[in-house]
Chains A and B, each alone.
Chain A
Amino acid sequence: MSDKVKIEVIDRRHFLIMTGAGVTAATMLAGLAGTAEAKADLAAEYMSKVLAGAKPAEGKVKLTMPEIAENGATVPTKVSVDSPMTDKDYCQEVHIISTKNPVAHICTFHFTPKSGKAEASIRVRMATTQDVIALARMSDGKWYMTKTTVKVTIGGCGG
């Protein structure tokens, strides 16, 4: 991937400033990549703690977020899980995990058969452009996961 593409994703204004000082821009990008890696580790750490050895399958979970979020301080997020929600077969919990926020765990929804639908909406903070993961646990102990990418124009986690 070229540096140029990456800069454009960050911000138009920064792009202009950065091109003025090419060397600085390259250094900054290297720094950014470093922290991004560390944050991805946080997500992996949280997931392995929650999963406790279980392996999540693809499918059943749907995570709806805007492709481009102009304001990272409040990004509408909707999760829905394909489940009959009966006493014997229902979705118990869904974890929403960020791969680049300072804290990986954003929130967890706990459902019961009385919830009727395994569906919930919330608004979340996104520090930067990143992947968001939803991890769902069914009443039979099986895990399902999905991932979506959100482009963030202005980060919402403070400096």
Chain B
Amino acid sequence: MAKARVKVPGKAKAGEVILIKTLIRHKMESGNRKDKKTGQKIPRHIIDKFTAKYNGEVFFSSDWEGGVSANPYCSFNCKVDKSGAFEFIWHDEKGEEFKAEAKIEVS
């Protein structure tokens, strides 16, 4: 269900602060919505933690609640000093994890 997309520049200069954009397909069911047919509340099911790593080190993370929109978009920055890889992890409160990767060349 969940499908992640990330936008990371392919090249950068050492010391540059780059902008990273991420998007994942997830309904982010807040637990406040009611099923129109049965009148029962639809159980909460959200991504509660997002983590971004650069060469294995966490440089940005975010805790999410039901107040984050469906198909969460999140953008943030990273100061890059050497070529390497980014790893992005979305943790679903049911224990599932979704991952995306990107490479960058730093000169």
Specify the chain B residue showing the minimal Cβ separation from A110.
B61
**A114 in contact with B64 given A122-B73, A159-B34 (CB within 8 Å):** no
Which residues of B lie under 8 Å from residue A156 when comparing CB positions?
Answer: 69
Number of residue pairs A-B, CB distance < 8 angstroms: 105
Contact at A158–B57, with CB atoms within 8 Å? no
Is the CB of A120 closer than 8 A to any CB of chain B? yes
Partner of A122, one of B33, B59, B74: B74
Mark contacts of A105-119 with chain B using CB atoms, 8 A cut-off: 1 yes-contact digit, 0 otherwise: 111111111111101
Could you tell me if A107 and B76 are in contact, using CB atoms closer than 8 angstroms? no
Q: Are B63 and A108 in contact (CB under 8 A)?
A: yes
Interface size class of A (residues with CB under 8 A): 20 to 34
Say whether B17 faces chain A, with CB atoms less than 8 Å apart. yes
Does B32 lie within 8 Å of A158, measured CB to CB?
A: yes
Q: Which residue of A lies closest to B58 (CB)?
A: A112
Q: Which of A7-15, A19-27, A60-68, A95-103 contacts B (4 or more CB under 8 A)?
A: A95-103
Q: Which residue of B lies closest to A97 (CB)?
A: B67
Closest Cβ neighbor of B60 among chain A residues: A115
B74 neighbours in A (Cβ, 8 Å): 120-122
**Interface presence of A149 (CB below 8 A):** no
Which residues on A sit within 8 Å (CB–CB) of B58? 112
* Contact pattern, A 30-72, Cβ under 8 Å of B = 1, otherwise 0: 0000000000000000000000000000000000000000000
Q: Which residues of A sit under 8 angstroms from B32, Cβ to Cβ?
A: 102-103, 157-158
- The closest CB in chain A to the CB of B63 belongs to A108
> Within the complex, which residue of B18, B66, B67, B76 is in contact with A119, where a contact is CB–CB below 8 Å?
B76
Say yes or no for A125: interface residue by CB 8 A criterion: yes
A142 sits at the interface (CB 8 A): no
Residues of A whose CB lies within 8 Å of any CB of B are 73-75, 85, 96, 98, 101-103, 105-117, 119-125, 156-159
Can you spell out 27 A-B residue pairs with CB atoms less than 8 angstroms apart? A73-B69, A73-B70, A74-B69, A75-B69, A103-B30, A103-B65, A103-B66, A106-B65, A106-B68, A107-B62, A108-B62, A109-B60, A110-B61, A110-B62, A111-B60, A114-B57, A115-B78, A120-B62, A121-B73, A122-B74, A122-B75, A123-B73, A125-B30, A125-B68, A158-B32, A158-B33, A159-B33
Q: Which residues of B contact A (CB under 8 A)?
A: 17-18, 30, 32-34, 54, 57-70, 72-79
